Amino acid sequence: MVSEKSMFSITARTEIEINAAPERVWEVLTDLDSYREWNPMIRSARGRVEPGGPLKLHFNPPGTRGAVFFPIVLAADKNRRFSWRGRLRLPFIFCNEHYFILEEPGPGRTLLKHGMEFRGVVVPLLRKAIMKNTEAPFMLMNRALKERAEGLH
């Protein structure tokens, strides 16, 4: 689901329930070296999973040309939240926060909330592209993460 917070801010949010404990989901989500084996949205990832840690992400969902991003980790709250921020040199022009929130609705289950907030003065120009091109790749990654964490992949 994509929602607008203001003229200069859009948030894309998805959710999926995973039949695995948050510890297992966290293990898969933060094992950046294994992304190339299972992740259909971020084809490769490197970096340090710690606040302030730099990342190198090759974002390339099916049907796209792909791009390499160099975000900085904002949160690495074990078994609970992993997020990073990407931005241009001037953050008021365009920046985004990509996040994964892990909740435990019951024993051995995880509710994954996966989203991204886009902010900046160029958001109104990118609104249609963001709305059209965000949710499907997120859901694709969510399903792949679910399969990997549940041991189906």
- Output the pTM of the full model: 0.90
Domain residue limits, the chain: 2-149
- Whether domain 2-149 has CATH 3.40.50.620: no
Phi and psi based region of residue 79 (left: phi greater than 0; alpha: psi -120 to 50; beta: remaining): left
pLDDT on residue 91: 64
Q: What is the pLDDT of residues 39-83, one digit of tens each?
A: 999 999 999 999 999 999 999 988 888 899 999 999 999 999 999
pLDDT on residue 98: 96
In this prediction, the residues of the chain whose per-residue pLDDT falls under 70 are: 1-5, 89-91, 152-153
Q: 49: helix, coil or strand?
A: coil
| Burial degree of 31 (CB within 10 A; 0-12, 13-18, 19+) | middle
Tokens representing residue 132 in the block: 């059209």
pLDDT on residue 127: 82
pLDDT on residue 6: 72
Which phi and psi angles does 63 have, rounded to 5°? 85, 5
